[in-house]
Structure 1
Amino acid sequence: MHGWSGRAAVPVLLAGLLAAGGCGSRPVTISRTASPAAVKARLLRIMQRWGATQAVVEETATGGPEPGTMVVRLDTAGGGAIRAQWTGPHGRTHLLVADDHQVVRYTAGAGHYTVEPAGSTEGDPRWLVGTGLVPFLNGARPLSAAFAGHTVTLRCQAALPGGPGIASLVFDPGSGRPLAWSATWTPAGSRTPETLHERVESFSAGSGLPAGTFEFTPPAGVQPAVEAQAPDGSFVRVTQGVVVPPAGSGLTLNTIITSGGSPPVLMLAYAGPDGRPLLVTEFAAATGPADPAGSGATPITIAGLPADTATLATGQAYIGFTWHGTRVWLEGTSGEVPALANAWLTALNQGSPGPAPASGTGNRPA
């Protein structure tokens, strides 16, 4: 369904393991004669002092379907978000931006970027971020510990995201930071082992990253696409007539469904900042179903663009607008729908390109 998602989850392993945070003020020393189990216990003691962190990690992966080098920027203070960029086997650059609200994937040179719901292991590669290094070490069986200069390398047997394997963590106890990570495992059903090598370029506690780091700004002319679930349970990639809320809207994308047909009617189910549901319905304006407000909608202007508004029989607020041939309905609470419509239409009016026009007919899903 999601193309890279299964493989993309693995390269963010070390970044995910840094989710527990920054460094304590007093260094914890580890005796060079300590057993592997004692080294594990001391490292756990160091990590328990961490707070929120950010890290830049350089990675090389081999043996998998998408080997390459990736830089991951992680800021866990805001609930966990990553911005990852790597080069695939054919030399194409892939970008992935994920936070608590949605996942965006883009391949350089493509005409579309894909927007996916957050919160699933298949669609959201941040599931590794949630594991953290502390629970990883708690579940790992230490095999050996080797000291070199000011560092210690702990080798463990562990349940890795790609399958059971061997992992090695290089750590500087004096500064309280991880330095490198490597792992080897053989995926289920395969005889070819995969390896992962990651080097921590920077690691700090509590400091923020530049605004917009975890927001995707598409290149000029690049349009959004989605993979929506059809009535028969299959997934359909929709690239025409898709309009998505602006970055930073605070909406969490939960599900995307489609009626099928040509073109399909899309329903994107979001949760607003207060957790209440907000429904976005999109279809070709020339041939789609009648607006839920019927003739009772009141014409208004938002950010210089025409729209209409009503209170539905369900008591929900409704605002509808048309953008480059795509009709968009917003249905939700009276506290969220007007604010979203204002932010959305303001962004569109500030030069956002229109989607590829949809054509044909479709029915609104039940």
Structure 2
Amino acid sequence: MHFYIHIPFCESKCNYCAFTSLKKDNYEKSYFQALNKDINFQLEKFNIKYNQIKTFFIGGGTPSCIDAKYYESIFKTLHPYLSQNVEISCEANPNSATLNWIKAMKNLGINRISFGAQSFHPKKLKFLGRIHNQDTIFKALENADKAGLKNINLDLIYDTKMDDKKMLEFELSNLEKIKPLITHLSAYNLTIEPKTAFAKKENFKKNAPNLMKFFIQKLTHLGFFQYEISNFSKNKNTMCKHNLSYWKGNNYIGCGLSAVGFYKNQRFYTANNLKSYIENPAFRNVEKLNSKNLELEHLFLGLRSIVGIQEKKLDFKQKEKALLLLKEKKLKYEKKRYFNPNFLLSDELALYLSS
């Protein structure tokens, strides 16, 4: 079993962000009280046993804008259920991840931290709506290293209208500087989402496949192994186990405002209104997934990652198409699974196989 909690609070809203994020406005205490109730209810509902949780992920929002003391009760509740070698990840923003905060979170149990840097360039940071600068990124990474965290991720965004070869080379040169301090990299190409500051501004996205390919190739030359369309690791030991669980279709519990869970072919959605969540944190809207839904998810998630797709889950027509793609070297086959050697084509391949 895997566990996710959502911290919806942020210091500011980024221009591209479609996740549920709110200003704190003194709701921390009531939110964490509700979150604790939610966690306890879900542990009992799904009959979670001691040492059963393999990964625990604290996402947001901005978890680092909340004082570490608020997380103490969460860890106290979950501690008996966490496996011996559990991966505990926490997202953070460079400007709020102080040395004291990171030390306090590490003392609670986190062993992996993910910094939302998004860019090293001042103009691009401003364009994205970020409130930190390059120096703050370097300082946050130093703080994590001083605190003794050895598994550190950095988030970047590319394929914006500001990205050209010169901009990407600037990002890469800074990545090379901090390469000894990080074990993992998430590089997301910009998506234009509704209800964001970038909504309906399609020209803000570059849509340049050659630049995307260039950037990915350069990241691999820097020594990062691509194991999902947006995720790169220094080695197989530092891949994000929590995210891998999603791509494998494993069961996971989601708690917190606008969180999502998945268990036995059902998806569970919490309330997406803060007042509603605080009043009834155990509420879930349940979506039952049929075989077609699950088949599509298996294709899309498997082809965009090293997880691959199982041959036994393909029907006769899909197997014929897979063999054709194999002959064209657009797929690889090993141990009764098909793998995608070019993640940039993942959606196209999945659509072809599912049509």
Superposed pair shares fold, TM > 0.5:
no
State which structure, 1 or 2, has the greater radius of gyration over its C-alpha atoms: 1
TM-score (norm 2): 0.24
Between Structure 1 and Structure 2, which shows a larger proportion of strand residues? Answer: 1
Between Structure 1 and Structure 2, which shows a larger proportion of helix residues? Answer: 2
TM-score (norm 1): 0.24
